[in-house]
Structure 1
């Protein structure tokens, strides 16, 4: 099949970490739009997230490590655009493997930016975790002050990307079902606990977070690819103000949808992830991007899948 070349001349898109939670949702969107997609991944959690697109003639799959700079350079050579997702993602994952987090999230990103050629587009999965605890509403002009290793490493990676003219998408906390399901992300984790335990305590439920469904997150990368002329060299918050919610608000939405569930707010424990913030998404919305999948919809789809996971599947989804 002839691969698409869009109005800017982009035809070949490389996705680092393309078999992960987000990459396995982005790749089908790009393939549907007619791009040729190369997925570069170490397949730490297997290749099954790509089964739904394996037969597509415009898909190429390459096994490799983002820390292997020479291999990265070789794979990047023919790409018109790079969607850089390869990372250790989330506070718990980075806290459990800190050295790996620094090497993959920082050095891995530098390997990509060092080998970006003139004219190649680069779109980077950054995070709202860069902000930390902020009074008022975060905009892209708000000074970043990450509180976790995850936030710090992603902020360092974002600096590399912006320095070479790339786009940094500061994603809200992503949730929902994707071909590579994760249960260690906040909403997915709370939903899994509601199904498995029914009753449990929630620490520091008043902390404000902001959320984004994984399919809307995927859509944002395609949007950035196709609006690169307006977005290059900048960071953008990605999410929707309607999902600026406290942890307790999310917990109560889950509780209402799981029979016999009771989630209590506890004053005794502490959440080691101290982020507490509200975010504005006006900048990317002004270009025409809109998130469409709300929290209730995402919880509903999680409840179709989580109760039916085998113990082996659930363990793998927790990254253990």
Structure 2
């Protein structure tokens, strides 16, 4: 297939694109390269790889990139609560208006896979969230993704994948994700302060996120025109449990603070029975993911020129 991946140089995209190329697909990436394109360097050896530098906020760029493809995988977004809070106008323009551009640029017969998020649930009355749980996002990130998700599903011939909290090593690494930053601090600072340690999140490894997109494309008839939580119930953990798991792999000082709070108040468990009923299972558990992270962050050193520690 010929596949357009928006945001393909990002955290998930730089894991997904090599996977698609290795499977024999032709892949075109549309990305602003806001964080560079180093994560896709290994893709340059594939004749079927194409990079288009452009922004989903620019309809003309999206329209050109969408020409002559069979599938659009829409990953481009301002991701996460902090990034959206920092640049709210950019977040809305990218996550909502950019998605509207993607939907508008679609040609007849083109499939659309959308990367959504469990953040659309927000603070919900039901502790166990499933796909029919009313969406009640409490952050701008969750609000924009919920609106974008509606646009995609209303367009038809589409699949929306609501991901758990991402973690794991990627060619375009992110250290703002909770398990990733916990591992980085443990390895480099040898200490970690955790507040609201009892708050529970669900996690999914970036490799499994990419696999879920491939799975949706391979099982389109069974999955189209629907939304799926992506993750596994065994990956429901509190912040304290994640921190203690890292202790099994690296020796560091762990302190649980009684003060401090996270403005993103998600605290719930999620059911993944629906996508499992279609045949998808995650492969990487927390222990394997943390072991990988400890090795990966050892290769990264963010230097603060104003520090002396």
Q: Is the TM value for this pair above 0.5? A: yes
Structure 1 residue aligned with 2:128: 137
The residue that corresponds to 1:4 in the other structure is none
CA distance in 1: counterparts of 2:154 and 2:49, whole angstroms: 30
The corresponding residue for 1:18 is 8
Report what 2:22 is aligned to: 32
Supply the distance in 1 between the matched residues of 2:28 and 2:197 (Cα, whole angstroms).
Answer: 41
CA contact (8 A) 1:132 1:277 kept: no
> Residues 155-198 of structure 1: CA distance to partner in whole angstroms, max 9, x if unpaired?
11101000011111000111000110000011101111212322
Look up the match of 2:248: 256
Post-superposition offset of 1:142: 0.5
- The 3-state SS of whatever aligns with 1:220 is helix
CA displacement at 1:263 relative to structure 2: 2.0
Report what 1:74 is aligned to: 64
Structure 1 equivalent of residue 268 of structure 2: 277
What is the aligned partner in structure 1 of residue 294 from structure 2? 303
Partner-residue secondary structure (3-state), 1:271? coil
1:221 deviates by 0.5
* Aligned-partner SS, 1:293: coil
What's the CA shift string for 1:120-173, capped at 9, x where partnerless?
A: 000000000111123321110100111111111111110100001111100011
TM-score normalised to structure 1 length: 0.92
Which of 73, 90, 97 does residue 100 from structure 1 map onto? 90
1:151 to 142, 147, 162: 142
Partner of 2:222: 230
Using the alignment, how far apart are the partners of 2:93 and 2:7 within structure 1? 15
Of the structure 1 ranges 145-154 and 262-271, higher mean CA displacement relative to structure 2 is found in 262-271
Residue 119 of structure 1, aligned match among 109, 113, 120: 109
User: CA RMSD of the aligned region, Å?
Assistant: 1.4
Aligned pairs, number: 303
Residue 75 of structure 1 deviates from its aligned partner by 1.1
Secondary structure of the 1:276 match is: coil
**Does structure 1 residue 247 correspond to structure 2 residue 245?**
no
Give me the whole-angstrom Cα distance separating, in 1, the residues matched to 2:55 and 2:121. Answer: 29
Deviations 1:13-40 (A, max 9, x none): 0000000000011111111111110011
Whole-Å separation in 2 of the counterparts to 1:309 and 1:139: 37
> How far apart, CA to CA, are the structure 2 residues paired with 1:290 and 1:234?
18
Is residue 162–residue 229 contact of structure 2 (8 Å, CA) maintained in 1? yes
**Which residue number in structure 2 is paired with residue 220 of structure 1?**
212
Residues 177 and 214, structure 1, Cα contact 8 Å, conserved in 2: yes
Instruction: Tell me the TM-score normalized by structure 2.
Output: 0.95
The 3-state SS of whatever aligns with 1:303 is: helix
Name the CA distance, whole Å, in 2 between partners of 1:133 and 1:310. 36
- Structure 1 runs, 4 residues or longer, greater than 6 Å off: none
d(CA) in 2 for partners of 1:31, 1:251: 36
Contact kept? 2:40, 2:171, Cα under 8 Å = yes
Q: 2:169 aligns with which of 162, 165, 177?
A: 177
Partner Cα distance (1:174, 1:270) in 2: 21
Instruction: Kindly state the Cα deviation for residue 231 of structure 1 after the two structures are TM-superposed.
Output: 1.6
Q: Give 1:102 deviation, angstroms.
A: 0.9
Give the secondary structure class of the aligned counterpart of 1:217. helix
Q: 1:193 aligns with which of 185, 189, 192?
A: 185
Residues 182 and 243 of structure 2 are in contact (CA less than 8 Å); yes or no, is this contact kept in structure 1?
yes
